């Protein structure tokens, strides 16, 4: 039976030897830090075996263990050590093989491809890394797709816009030349040319202004100077500004809003979006038809709906009306008084910049565009009560 004092001596001695072996192991591990994990695992196994062997030899000398007992213990330790080495090597090779597989998968991705994780079972850390890689590559692939689509639509836009600009410019030039050369002499034609030149110039100015706004939206450079206003006031303003157009076309324009509806928005921008919707509705409604604008609230959002009597938008066009330069018809012949298909893209850009949503559906005798904007806290709402039944045109 071993005494307590002997046990203490054994503990001290073995702890000392283990500490020296561990320190040496740490140094070697540090020197081999850049080598394969298999090498590091072999070092760990070697430290364990060395510490055990040294401990057994030193203790057997101190305790006068018989040569025979020592041989038995050493044989056991050596065999256990060999088993440890083998397992360490196997584990190391497994980790190295798994990381090689991952590396191959990453190399296969290339430019814009998708990362497919290796089909073998990976150690937890590598599996985590692989999952993260898969997600990151997924996001990258989406970004690449978006970039490509954007590039295509940018190129289309430039092509369409240069076409849309060139056609009225050719007309302007022809009229200016006719006036300059004195080809037209009767004052009626001269005055018609003058007013046409002014109208076309106005249209071009509006188009260039729309393009500028759209490019600011796309570049994320829309500067919003927000303040809290009642949405019904904005709707009222949009209706008043569109009223002359409605009257000229013989379209009935009606509007109503529930009082209040505080929203924190850039009034000029949201006003512009609303005007685009109302003007579109009037333009696409035949004379004697009606356009109705309603402002209300629903599930914590302020809503504005603009319903017209256009007869409905073809189902295949519905998902595309907000696309840049989409105008419904395939031939892009500029029609006097019509835009370049930028109005709805601008409206969507403005509303989304305010964390809102815009959508369209066919309803009743025509289609209905709906804008949703987050309601501002009522504490900050304007105090004057807004009237229901905004407008009756
Ligand atoms: N209220 C509406 N009723 C029917 N069609 C519409 C309406 N608003 C928009 N559209 C369709 O969506 C297209 C894009 O509209 P928009 O971006 O405002 O461009 P634009 O008014 O310059 O044609 C229009 O050309 C038209 O085909
Ligand atoms: Mg429009």
pLDDT tens, 228-255? 999 999 999 999 999 999 999 999 999 9
* Ligand 1 close to Cβ of residue 338 (< 6 A): yes
* Ligand 1 close to Cβ of residue 203 (< 6 A): no
Q: Whose CA is nearest to atom 24 of ligand 1?
A: 327
Grade residue 384 by pLDDT with cuts at 50, 70 and 90.
very low
> Is pLDDT at 380 greater than 60 in this prediction?
no
In terms of residues, how long is the chain?
A: 393
| Among the bound ligands, the one closest to the CA of 278 | 1
pLDDT digits (tens, 9 = 90+) for 11-62: 888 899 999 999 999 999 999 888 888 888 888 888 988 888 888 888 888 7
Grade residue 362 by pLDDT with cuts at 50, 70 and 90.
very high
The share of the chain scoring above pLDDT 70, in percent, equals 92
């009229």: which residue's tokens? 175
Q: What radius of gyration do the chain's Cα atoms show?
A: 39
Of 149, 142, 147, 154, nearest to 324 by C-alpha is 154
Full DSSP string of 243-276: HHHHHHHT-EEEEEE-S--EEEE-HHHHHHHHHH
Atom of ligand 1 nearest to the CA of 338: 22
Atom of ligand 1 nearest to the CA of 276: 18
Q: What is the rounded average pLDDT of the residues 341-354?
A: 94
Atom of ligand 1 nearest to the CA of 367: 3
In this prediction, residue 253 carries a pLDDT of 95
Distance 5 CA to ligand 2 centre (A): 97
Angle, in degrees to the nearest 10, between helices 37-62 and 67-109: 170
pLDDT digits (tens, 9 = 90+) for 76-133: 888 988 998 899 889 888 888 888 888 888 888 766 677 888 888 888 888 898 899 8
* Ligand 1 close to Cβ of residue 328 (< 6 A): yes
In this prediction, residue 64 carries a pLDDT of 67
In this prediction, residue 334 carries a pLDDT of 54
Tell me 318's DSSP state.
G
In this prediction, residue 382 carries a pLDDT of 46
Of 316, 322, 376, 372, nearest to 344 by C-alpha is 322
Distance 361 CA to ligand 1 centre (A): 13
| Among the bound ligands, the one closest to the CA of 328 | 1
Bridge partners of residue 252, in order along the sequence: 290
Q: What is the rounded average pLDDT of the residues 349-361?
A: 96
Q: What is the rounded average pLDDT of the residues 68-79?
A: 87
Measured distance CA(286)–CA(290) in Å, rounded: 8
Q: What is the rounded average pLDDT of the residues 316-322?
A: 92
Of 96, 139, 98, nearest to 115 by C-alpha is 139
User: Under DSSP, is residue 99 helix (H, G, I), strand (E, B) or coil?
Assistant: helix
Grade residue 349 by pLDDT with cuts at 50, 70 and 90.
very high
In this prediction, residue 335 carries a pLDDT of 57
User: Under DSSP, is residue 325 helix (H, G, I), strand (E, B) or coil?
Assistant: coil
* Ligand 1 close to Cβ of residue 344 (< 6 A): yes
* Ligand 1 close to Cβ of residue 42 (< 6 A): no
């Amino acid at each position: 039976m071993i005494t307590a004092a002997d046990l203490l001596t054994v503990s001290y001695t073995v702890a000392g030897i283990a500490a020296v072996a561990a320190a040496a192991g740490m140094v070697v591990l540090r020197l081999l830090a850049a080598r394969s994990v298999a090498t590091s695992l072999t070092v760990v196994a070697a430290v364990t075996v060395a510490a055990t062997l040294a401990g057994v030899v030193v203790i057997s000398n101190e305790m006068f263990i018989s040569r025979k007992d020592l041989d038995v213990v050493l044989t056991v330790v050596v065999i256990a050590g060999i088993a440890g080495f083998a397992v360490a090597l196997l584990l190391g090779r497994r980790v190295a093989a798994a990381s090689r597989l991952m590396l191959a998968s990453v190399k296969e991705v290339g430019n814009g491809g998708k990362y497919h994780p290796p089909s073998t079972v990976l150690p937890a850390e590598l599996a985590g890394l692989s999952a993260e890689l898969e997600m990151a590559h997924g996001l990258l692939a989406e970004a690449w797709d978006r970039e490509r689509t954007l590039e295509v639509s940018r190129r289309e836009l430039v092509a369409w816009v240069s076409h849309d600009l060139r056609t009225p410019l050719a007309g302007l030039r022809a009229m200016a030349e006719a006036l300059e050369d004195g080809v037209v002499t009767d004052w009626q034609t001269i005055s018609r040319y003058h007013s046409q030149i002014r109208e076309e110039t106005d249209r071009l100015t509006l188009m260039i202004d729309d393009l500028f706004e759209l490019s600011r939206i796309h570049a994320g450079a829309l500067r919003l100077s927000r303040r809290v206003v009642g949405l019904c006031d904005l709707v009222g303003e949009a209706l008043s500004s569109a009223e002359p157009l409605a009257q000229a076309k013989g379209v009935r324009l009606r509007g109503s809003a529930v009082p209040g509806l505080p929203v924190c928005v850039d009034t000029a921008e949201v006003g512009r979006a609303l005007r685009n919707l109302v003007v579109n509705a009037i333009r696409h409604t035949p004379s004697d038809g009606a356009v109705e604008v309603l402002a209300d609230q629903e599930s914590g959002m302020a809503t504005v709906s603009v319903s017209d009597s256009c007869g409905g938008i073809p189902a295949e066009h519905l998902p595309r009306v907000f696309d840049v330069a989409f105008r419904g018809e395939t031939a892009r012949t500029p029609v006097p008084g019509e835009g370049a298909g930028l109005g709805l893209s601008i409206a969507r850009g403005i509303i989304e910049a305010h964390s809102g949503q815009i959508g369209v559906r066919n309803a009743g005798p025509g289609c209905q565009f709906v804008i949703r904007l987050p309601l501002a806290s009522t504490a900050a709402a304007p105090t004057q009560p807004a009237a229901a039944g905004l407008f009756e045109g």
